[in-house]
Chains A and B, each alone.
With several copies, the nearest count.
Chain A
Amino acid sequence: MNKPRPSAAFGGADPAVDAIKRTNGRLDDKALVEIFEVAMRSRIFEARLVRWAKEGGIPPLLHPGAGQEIAQLAALHVLRNSDPMLYAHRGLAYIIGRGVPLTAILADASGREGGTNNGKGGLMHTVDIARGVYGESGTLGGGFVIATGMGMAIKKQRRDDVIVHFFGDGTSNRGTFHESLNWAAVQKLPVIFICENNGWAVSVPTSVSTAVEDIASRAAGYGIPGVVVDGGDADEVAEAVAVAAERARAGEGPTLIEIKAVRLLGHFATDMQEYRADRDECQARDPMLALRRRLVEAGLLTEEQMAEMERRITTEVEDALDEVKAAPLVSGELAFTDLYS
């Protein structure tokens, strides 16, 4: 495991970066197994959703997170469930990791009763305050400003929660990134900005749209730590987030963490990816494979146990799907509710 390396822009001079170096937050065995299992649930569930979309059961507006689950879950693992999260569109591990029931997600996706957003937001806007799931902005970059304001509230309320906001590399080119990081930094707000850099924004490679290789180097413009971590390494991610959370809870302000990630599938469910040449190479970098190997080598799970886990989760997913398919569609009358309070 590599230590999370501070972004080049910071050199070794910034004390905040030293703080990151000082911590040592390896995930314990139990955590690794847990992350693996939730990642598997997310992967299987998502694949089933993609299939459902291709069958026409739900709209294809699903953005598979395959390849990015391990890092997402490692990040969440070192936070509290009470730490409010604004997630990105990339996959469902964020919300599955927080414990939102699969049936609720399926109900949101298919406009059936039992969902979390009364048919308003569909799959993209699952919400579950008790689990710290605060939703998603449909316009990319809309989350930065809201996360900043949530951090402002936490600080005024003298709570020790931290806000975690996930977003993509492409999204970091919205102006709201700049305004928010500056203000969060100047006010020392408890926000962790986590950029998942998977090298793509739909069909546009990051190198075409973005002037720097490391999004984390942008932290220099706000005087905050900018940390690059390997999305294939759960420990590295966890450690960086743990340090950022400690810093945030101590009133020292936000951190920008960049996860070098891999997008295994298309931008959305039915994307054929004609524009993409790196697909095979990417499959080999699937963090699930690495973690799988590691768990086996460490004797934490046998191949047998994993196969059993897969069967169990598949059944769980199919059961959830059956349950939701049997639920009634939400009423069109809901078009008129939830706007004003």
Chain B
Amino acid sequence: MRQLSYAQAINEALVEEMDRDENVILYGQDVAAWGGIFRVTTGLLDRFGHERVFDSPISENVIVGAGVGAAIMGMRPVAELQYADFLLTAGDEIFLKAGMWRFMHGGAFKVPLVVRLPSGSTSAGPEHSTCPEAYIMHSPGLLCAVPSTPSDAKGLLKEAIRNDNPVMYFEHRLLYQKKGPVPDGDVTIPFGKAAIRKEGKMLTVIAWQLMLQRALKAAEELEKEGISVEVIDPRTLTPFDWDTVLESVKKTGACLVIEEGYRSLGVGAEIGATLFEKALPWLDRPFRRMATPDVPLAATRQLVDRILPSSDGIAAEIRDMLK
């Protein structure tokens, strides 16, 4: 199969969807003339022109809010916030407008909006480093995609654009250059279907994006030691594929969630609580989470490395859990 980088896969999804549906428009800071500060949208302006691909002011409220307005009038806007952290600068627009405008008005509209949110701990400081997907998972009305591979990045973005609901699409900056196989043709990936990235018997690990890479590396390492770990990538957080997770946990009896976001009320909290509700009879061991330990992410590499789960740290944690 073709090898594409995660960034190329996103670009390809945009091209295909914009080719397919002229209601798809793309905008945000620097996305047009420059092709995005992470160069993910290069070539789109040339292909689709200023009417459909345009640069915006530094006005996050209206970037998201205008997306809602355009969406209810039949467009399919794909808006970019330059860093995922900035979703909090457009809180009203994301949580109350995108999430609730349809509900509040009795279903009179659809809000087919996609917000692209580059996330991840690049040591760029507290306001340019986070993975804020838990805020979204807590909030009704919003779907949430967290692609981990080039193929998923493409397929989930295509699905997000076609979906009639607002989708927060988190693209991880540290994966942009990572390559992987991407199938030819018009392949979408449905929301709410997790992928089992590695089968295993003794423990279920749930992770996505950067932490998935590290978890898989740890799992390979452990395999050599005879420790068989199952690794699940949820792909979307809302909707969340509980079936796959429950089935796995019933088999393994233990679960570890690894995430880049803050620990308290991070995604792992929902997973832990839900398993405790629904799978207690099958659970042999205490649940565990590895996450950013409720401190902001500093601008200095040593400080970030100190707190983020590494693959060695993950392997050690799993060994300890299974002791």
In their complex, do chains A and B touch, with some C-beta pair under 8 Å? yes
Determine if A287 is an interface residue (Cβ-Cβ < 8 Å).
no
Specify the chain B residue showing the minimal Cβ separation from A189: B66
Give the residues in chain A near B96, CB-CB below 8 Å. Answer: 137-139, 142
Q: Mark A280-316, 1 if CB is under 8 A from B, else 0.
A: 0000000000000000000000000000000000000
User: Could you tell me if B105 and A138 are in contact, using CB atoms closer than 8 angstroms?
Assistant: no
Chain A residues touching B, range: 35 or more
Determine if B123 is an interface residue (Cβ-Cβ < 8 Å).
yes
Shortest beta-carbon distance from B264 to chain A in Å: 13
Mark the stretch among B55-63, B209-217, B228-236, B240-248 that contacts chain A: B55-63
User: Could you tell me if B73 and A153 are in contact, using CB atoms closer than 8 angstroms?
Assistant: yes
Determine if A175 is an interface residue (Cβ-Cβ < 8 Å).
yes
Give the residues in chain B near A156, CB-CB below 8 Å. Answer: 25, 51-52, 70, 75
User: Could you tell me if A121 and B58 are in contact, using CB atoms closer than 8 angstroms?
Assistant: no
Give the residues in chain B near A331, CB-CB below 8 Å. Answer: 302
User: Could you tell me if A138 and B127 are in contact, using CB atoms closer than 8 angstroms?
Assistant: yes
Specify the chain B residue showing the minimal Cβ separation from A134: B72
Determine if A179 is an interface residue (Cβ-Cβ < 8 Å).
yes
Contact A335:B57 (CB < 8 A) given known A119-B300, A138-B128? no
Q: Which of A124, A174, A182 contacts B299 (CB 8 A)?
A: A124
User: Could you tell me if B303 and A154 are in contact, using CB atoms closer than 8 angstroms?
Assistant: no
Give the residues in chain B near A341, CB-CB below 8 Å. Answer: 102, 107, 110-111, 164-165
Q: Which of B57, B67, B301 contacts A173 (CB 8 A)?
A: B57
Contact A335:B59 (CB < 8 A) given known A153-B73, A156-B51, A341-B107? no
Give the residues in chain A near B62, CB-CB below 8 Å. Answer: 144-145, 148-149, 176, 179-180, 183
Mark the stretch among A2-10, A110-118, A236-244 that contacts chain B: A110-118
Q: Which of A182, A333, A339 contacts B140 (CB 8 A)?
A: A339
Give the residues in chain A near B107, CB-CB below 8 Å. Answer: 118, 120, 337-338, 341
Contact A117:B105 (CB < 8 A) given known A183-B59, A208-B55, A275-B34? yes
Chain B residues touching A, range: 35 or more
User: Could you tell me if B59 and A119 are in contact, using CB atoms closer than 8 angstroms?
Assistant: no
Determine if A146 is an interface residue (Cβ-Cβ < 8 Å).
yes
User: Could you tell me if B86 and A202 are in contact, using CB atoms closer than 8 angstroms?
Assistant: no
Contact A157:B73 (CB < 8 A) given known A117-B106, A341-B165? yes
- Enumerate 28 A-B pairs (CB-CB under 8 Å) in ascending A order: A59-B124, A111-B301, A116-B106, A119-B300, A119-B302, A121-B105, A122-B125, A123-B299, A124-B299, A137-B127, A140-B58, A142-B97, A142-B127, A145-B62, A149-B70, A150-B70, A156-B51, A156-B52, A171-B58, A203-B55, A204-B55, A204-B56, A209-B56, A209-B57, A274-B34, A332-B305, A335-B306, A341-B164
Q: Which residues of B contact A (CB under 8 A)?
A: 25, 29-30, 33-34, 37, 51-52, 55-62, 64-75, 77, 85-86, 89, 92-93, 96-97, 101-111, 123-128, 140-141, 143, 164-165, 293, 295-296, 298-307
